[in-house]
Amino acid sequence: MSISRFNAVEKASNRKATEACTPKRNVSEYYGENVFNRKAMRKFLSKETYEALTAAIDRGVPIDREVANHVAAGMRMWALGKGVTHYTHWFQPLTDGTAEKHDAFVEHDGHGGMIEEFSGKLLVQQEPDASSFPNGGLRNTFEARGYSAWDPSSPAFIVDDTLCIPTVFIAYTGEALDYKTPLIRSIEALDKAATDVCHYFDPSTRRVTTYLGWEQEYFLVDEDLYSARPDLSLTERTLLGHESAKNQQLDDHYFGAIPSRVQEFMKDLEVECYKLGIPVKTRHNEVAPNQFELAPIYEECNLANDHNQLLMSVMKRVARHHNFRVLLHEKPFKGVNGSGKHCNWSLGTDTGVNLFSPGKDREDNLRFITFVVNTIMAVYRFNALLKATVASATNAHRLGANEAPPAIISTFLGTQISDILDKFETSAIEDAIEVDDKKGLHLGFGQIPELLLDNTDRNRTSPFAFTGNRFEFRAPGSSVNCGSAMLALNSAVAYQLRQFTNDVERLRSAGKSKEQAIFEVLKDYIKRSKPIRFDGNGYSDAWKEEALRRGLDCESSVPLQYDAYLQPEVVEMFESAGVLNRKELAARNEVKWEVYIKKVQIEARVLGDLSLNHIIPVAVRYQSVLLENITKLKEAFEGDEYREMAAEPRRLSRQISAHICAVTKQVDEMVEARKRANRIADLRERAIAYHDTVAPYLDTIRAHIDDLELMVDNQMWPLPKYRELLFIR
Ligand code: ADP
Ligand code: MG
């Protein structure tokens, strides 16, 4: 229910902090208590079942039905002991967010009663009644239904009274209908390709793991103020609202103390995260007022992504207890910073080596250079794709909007690594690579200083920055499923590493030594990938021109950015990495275009309604007040005196009229543009029409309304203003 502005403002400003219900226990005592983790497995599974399950988790060994039955029985026992009554397969459909369908643990016992039941069959596979999930036409025949299948590598967990089982979601014909399936495939592809490359340096490497550490930014807004803004409630962003006189100019929020209401929320949120085994670590204010960030300790990529998905729903739930709403939209407020979700990404071996860490030992450094160079080569070749993975109607307000990373993908390596690559490129092999009989291959120019972790050499404007022992992809938006970007990055790097092995082997079979082959291939890659390296200011206009000259993708229209998924070399890359085939890619793009259309369509409808039914009536009312004032002035005064006094109300009422006319006219035009776009059958073309002919009205209509906000009597203005929405006490 929407409430009136002043009511909402009053309630919000009188609100006291809701005390957090923090348990009086150390985190270590309850960490992971709602997760079917190894501790719970050991307690509730037989030794054989435990071993079979951990083999599946650690090494991907398949689980047979009998083991699944035992696991299900153990899980059920564990969950019942915690008061759980229902279970659900928890999956990540192509819309953002997660999906679940809850079933009770009960079955008929065959004697007229009920028993608690949960078999291996129900654990392993289910068919959600999910015809309404987007599938891009992959399930449009009744034979091609979708099913969810257990992902043993991510542990089951409890939310309220429900046991949630992480699952993949696929069509019966095998195509992925979610983010998790291709993410897992990409992690496997990268493991294989990277392990092979590691063998050049250390034959004992058996496995390479992908790590992800996300940083989740978000806004909080008081619940009543949120309810008084139909645009926030329906689209998660303010479609109108003039900038507050004070917003983030003073940086006082960033450096300030966390407000006590927010502190209490954060405490509860962290407790809930710990119970679910999400290792959250840092919390702080962000740049914009009411903006905050939460980051965990990094984890294996698939698990980290599940944890981020879970976090987003936990945040929303916990916020309600504290009379807040969480805004995960990338740009809820115009004129202040938007929210991203930086994805910190790295690779580690089972021998304990971070492949992006220059390392204390000299011999690690050539391996380090190899992985860095292949990564930037992959980012270079697939820069358009990487941008497409984070493109959305909502993130478009952030990317390229002069604050977050620009809508051009480039990499920043820092001066030290850049210098080393430059030196490598111009060196002779004797200087670049040394062979040590005992220690194998290493970089000829000795140690790379560990100073790399120094914060001063950081470029905050770079979308893909090397940050000491990992790469940080900063373009993903705050609402996105990290899987979208990670599965593409993993696949591209896997593909690139395969290419590297092939290139090295080709030279070796032509008679070159291993060292010579590696040297030549790296040198070539360093040269070729140069256009992607950019250490300057990514926000400048000069960079846009320069990037275009370098052949980097500069497309700014979201529907057209999605085309990158279907470029022949991208399809080839995904197919050869075994992650997604052409049919899946095409279907996923249909979903993307459709989601884009719907988002813009909803915003256009909401703005139309706000304009005609909330703003214009108020503007007309205020104009009547002015006209009445003019009439009264005429009654009371005469001649020049009257004219002088009436000049201002006249001018104002003329201006208001002009805005009213402009808004009405443009809302009409926007409706017409939507109707025209809706007649286009092809989804891609329709999305382009929405982008080109509907979305621009959202800005132009808003501009008139934001001007009106400055003219109309404050007492009459119906919606909470930015200054009221943005400063939690
Ligand atoms: P900043 O804001 O300076 O980038 P934060 O501490 O907020 O730093 O976030 C850093 C994130 O990077 C955390 O999630 C952290 O766990 C993650 N991280 C640190 N080292 C690695 C690594 N080797 N691989 C992946 N993620 C990492
Ligand atoms: Mg960061």
* pLDDT tens by residue, 651-683: 999 999 999 999 999 999 999 999 999 999 999
Compute φ and ψ for 382, nearest 5 degrees: -115, 35
Please tell me the distance from the alpha carbon of residue 11 to that of residue 6, in angstroms, as a whole number: 8
> What distance in angstroms lies between residue 472's CA and the mean position of ligand 2's atoms?
7
> What distance in angstroms lies between residue 215's CA and the mean position of ligand 2's atoms?
6
Pocket of ligand 1 (CB under 6 A): 211, 213, 215, 282, 295-298, 344-346, 354, 469-470
If you ran DSSP here, which 8-state letter would residue 690 be given? I
Q: What is the pLDDT of residue 458?
A: 66
What pLDDT band is residue 119 in, cutting at 50, 70 and 90?
A: confident
Query: Are the C-beta atoms of residues 635 and 680 closer than 8 Å to each other?
Result: no
pLDDT tens across 329-374, in order? Answer: 999 999 889 999 999 999 999 999 999 987 666 567 889 999 999 9
- Residue 688's alpha-carbon distances to 561, 593, 698, in angstroms, are 10, 9, 15
Give the residue among 224, 228, 236, 136 at the shortest CA–CA distance from 602.
Answer: 236
Q: What is the pLDDT of residue 456?
A: 46
Three-class DSSP category at 704: helix
Tell me the two tokens of residue 688. Answer: 């382009």
Q: Give 3-state DSSP helix, strand, coil % of the chain, rounded to 5.
A: 50, 15, 35
Q: What is the pLDDT of residue 142?
A: 42
Strands 157-159 and 299-300: unpaired
pLDDT tens across 681-726, in order? Answer: 999 999 999 999 999 999 999 999 999 999 999 999 999 999 999 9
- Residue 364's alpha-carbon distances to 197, 291, 367, 479, in angstroms, are 13, 40, 5, 37
Of 410 and 253, the one with more pLDDT = 410
Instruction: Give the other-Cβ count within 10 Å of 256's Cβ.
Output: 11
pLDDT tens across 592-605, in order? Answer: 999 999 999 999 99
Q: What is the pLDDT of residue 62?
A: 87
As a whole number, the mean pLDDT across the chain is 91
pTM, 2 dp: 0.95
If you ran DSSP here, which 8-state letter would residue 477 be given? B
Tell me the two tokens of residue 579. Answer: 């992650």
pLDDT at 394 over 90: yes
Q: What is the pLDDT of residue 417?
A: 86
Please tell me the distance from the alpha carbon of residue 466 to that of residue 382, in angstroms, as a whole number: 17
Give the residue among 72, 86, 88, 83 at the shortest CA–CA distance from 36.
Answer: 72
Proximal ligand: closest to the CA of 470: 1
pLDDT tens across 20-68, in order? Answer: 887 778 999 999 999 999 999 999 999 999 999 999 888 888 888 899 9
Ligand 1 atom showing the smallest separation from residue 215 Cα = 14
What pLDDT band is residue 516 in, cutting at 50, 70 and 90?
A: very high
Mean pLDDT value of segment 147-172: 91
> What distance in angstroms lies between residue 343's CA and the mean position of ligand 1's atoms?
8
> What distance in angstroms lies between residue 155's CA and the mean position of ligand 1's atoms?
23
pLDDT tens across 446-469, in order? Answer: 666 555 555 445 677 789 999 888
Residue identifier of the C-alpha nearest atom 17 of ligand 1:
213
> What distance in angstroms lies between residue 371's CA and the mean position of ligand 1's atoms?
19
Query: Are the C-beta atoms of residues 417 and 381 closer than 8 Å to each other?
Result: no
Strands 114-116 and 125-126: unpaired
Question: How many Cα atoms are found within 13 Å in the side-chain-facing hemisphere of 511?
Answer: 0
Distance of CA 152 to the CA centre of its chain: 24
Q: What is the pLDDT of residue 143?
A: 42
Sequence-distant (≥ 6) Cβ neighbours of residue 516 within 8 angstroms: 429, 507
pLDDT tens across 290-325, in order? Answer: 999 999 999 999 999 999 999 999 999 999 999 999
Residue identifier of the C-alpha nearest atom 3 of ligand 1:
455
Of 544 and 446, the one with more pLDDT = 544
Convert 490-516 into a string of H (helix), E (strand) and C (coil). HHHHHHHHHHHHHHHHHHHHCCCCHHH
Q: Picking from 177-181, 406-410, 506-510, 519-523, which range would have the lowest pLDDT averaged per residue?
A: 406-410
Ligand 1 atom showing the smallest separation from residue 357 Cα = 23
Query: Of the residues 211, 214, 215, which should be mutated to test ligand 1's pocket, given the most ligand atoms within 8 Å of the CB?
Result: 215
Please tell me the distance from the alpha carbon of residue 459 to that of residue 578, in angstroms, as a whole number: 34
Please tell me the distance from the alpha carbon of residue 727 to that of residue 729, in angstroms, as a whole number: 6
